[in-house]
Each structure stands twice: as C-alpha cells, then as structure tokens.
Amino acid sequence: MSRPALVLCYHSTNVNGHDYAANDHVALRADLMAIAARGLRVVHALDAVREPLCNQPRVAITFDDGMILDAIDFEHPGFGHQDSFLRILREHHAATGQRCVAASFVIASPAARAELDRKDFLALNVWHDDWWSAAVASGYLTIENHSWDHNHPSLERSVQRDNQRGSFRFIDTEADALAEIAQASDYIEQRSGRRPSLFAYPWGEDNPYLVDQFLPEHAARLGIEGAFITSASRPHEFDRWRIPRPVCGTDWRSPEEFATLIERYLATGDPTPSLRRP
C-alpha cells in the first residue's frame, strides 16, 4: 500500500506531571520504544514532503514552539528533572541503534520569545535560542520555522497589520506572511547556521491565502518545501502545504492510544488520528 508518512508532534513545554498523559518527555521516550519494537522506519519530516507516498510505513518526529527543553535538560520548579527531547533521541539511538532526526519548529523572534517567557512561563528563561546551532550540529535535530511571533495573544504587539492576534488565520496578506514566515527563516538561518526547509502553522492553523497563494508563489525562493497543520482538518489528498500531524496530549494520551494510532496507520495508511475528543 502506498501511503504518506505518519508525522507526530510533541511539545517539550508539556510538563504537567510525571506520567505519560501529563508529560511529553515521558510520552516521547515510550513512543520511540513502541516504534522501534514494531520495526517501523523513522525518517525526517522533510522526507514526508519529498517522498509524499511510499510503500513502506514511515514515522517522522516533530517538536513545536522551540523551548530549550527540546535540547537542554531542565530542572522544573514543580516536577523536577526533565530529560531534554535531544537526550531522549540520543539515548534511544544508543539503546536500539535507531537514529531519529527530529524537526524542531521554533518561534523565531527573540523579543516575542522573551515576552512570552516573562508573561506565560514565570520568567524561567526557557525560550532563548543559544541552543539552536549546537542542536543542529548534534545531528539529532533540525531547527525549522514556526513563524516569527506565533501571532500570539499574550504579546503586546504582533507583526499582524492590525495587531489582530490569537489565530494564524489573520495572516492573510503578503506583507504579514513575509513578516511571519520569511523574516523567521532569515533569523533562524542566521542563528542556527541552517536555513529551515519546513514550516509549521502556529496552532496548526492554515488559511486559503497561505495555502493557495503565498506558499506556492514564495516558498521556493524562501527555501521552504512543505508546511504542517495539525489534525483538525484532514485533506483528502496529499498537499505539501497542508500536511497533517497528530499531536501528543491531544490526539493520543496513553501508550494504548498510541498503539491504536499506529495500528490504524499500518492497516489503512491514514496518517491522521481516529481518536476524536470533544
């Protein structure tokens, strides 16, 4: 059966406890073992774009928002030591011989990250970008584009022309798209040493302007080859500007639900989750 890759999304900021359902670090470690136990091939998310359909099942790992916990171990004030996602990938490689290279989608703007860190994360300094180039050099992560400022509602001012925040659907003019996407790629290239080849819409929210106009016209020049939504809407056919990703903690919350997701993908080739929650 010819099928797309199953692209999974994790957030290193999801640390609300010590168990699988409340902690994406615990979930990632367990899920990688479940993937290895089934002998599934793990590819980089870029492979999901460059080879849209393939007879062999493939899984790709992605991280969103670009907290330092993607790559740096962290002493959490409430829940203690957290192994970084990068450590988990490295240890998984050592334990199983399976090397996974994940795509880390980061918010580019240093000012936006600093403001969000201050307002939403108790000023823990968990959103700097000093780790980007070392993460790329590690060979386990690539730094990819998750927009300039996420058009985040906690920011005083976003780049959106009318300061209309809280949704990426408001990014629907060329000037706004250049400010959110092109500017982000430029900064990430300068800081990480590698230009991003992938974009993930904040909140997984695409819109017709970006999908049908901006990306088809500008992406090649910007170096972007594919864009990822989450799983809220399911395209019927492969669309490189709307590649779905199931999200850990939303689309599956336990090893059993993860097994169901994998089984369904293996049986049907469908890379979107069947588990729907209200």
Q: Quick one: DSSP state of residue 201?
A: -
Output phi, psi for 207, to 5 deg.
-155, 160
* Closer to Zn ion by Cβ: residue 205 or 270: 205
Q: What residues contact residue 240 under an 8 Å CB cut-off, 6+ apart?
A: 49, 52, 225, 226, 227
State in angstroms the smallest separation of the CB of 60 from Zn ion.
17
Q: What does the alpha-carbon distance between residue 166 and residue 152 come to, in Å, rounded to a whole number?
A: 5
State in angstroms the smallest separation of the CB of 12 from Zn ion.
11
* Closer to Zn ion by Cβ: residue 64 or 117: 64
Please choose, out of 57-65, 73-81, 158-166, 167-175, the segment that lies near Zn ion by the rule CB under 5 A: 57-65
SS3 for 169? helix
State in angstroms the smallest separation of the CB of 26 from Zn ion.
20
Q: Encoding tokens for residue 260?
A: 């169901």
Please choose, out of 36-44, 63-71, 174-182, 249-257, the segment that lies near Zn ion by the rule CB under 5 A: 63-71
Of 65-84, binders to Zn ion (CB under 5 A) are 65
Of 178-237, binders to Zn ion (CB under 5 A) are 202
* Closer to Zn ion by Cβ: residue 31 or 65: 65
Of 233-272, binders to Zn ion (CB under 5 A) are none
State in angstroms the smallest separation of the CB of 65 from Zn ion.
5
* Closer to Zn ion by Cβ: residue 92 or 113: 113
State in angstroms the smallest separation of the CB of 66 from Zn ion.
9
**144 contacts Zn ion (rule: CB under 5 A):** no
**64 contacts Zn ion (rule: CB under 5 A):** yes
State in angstroms the smallest separation of the CB of 228 from Zn ion.
11
Q: Encoding tokens for residue 80?
A: 């203690």
Q: How far is CA 4 from CA 222, 252, 258, in A?
A: 24, 19, 18
Beta bridge partners of 199: 145, 227
# residues contacting Zn ion (CB under 5 A): 3
Question: Which of 264, 243, 266, 45 minimizes the C-alpha distance to 275?
Answer: 264
Residue with tokens 């168990």: 19
Output phi, psi for 115, to 5 deg.
-65, -40
Residue 205 neighbours by CB distance under 10 Å: 17
Residues lying near Zn ion in the complex (CB under 5 A): 64-65, 202
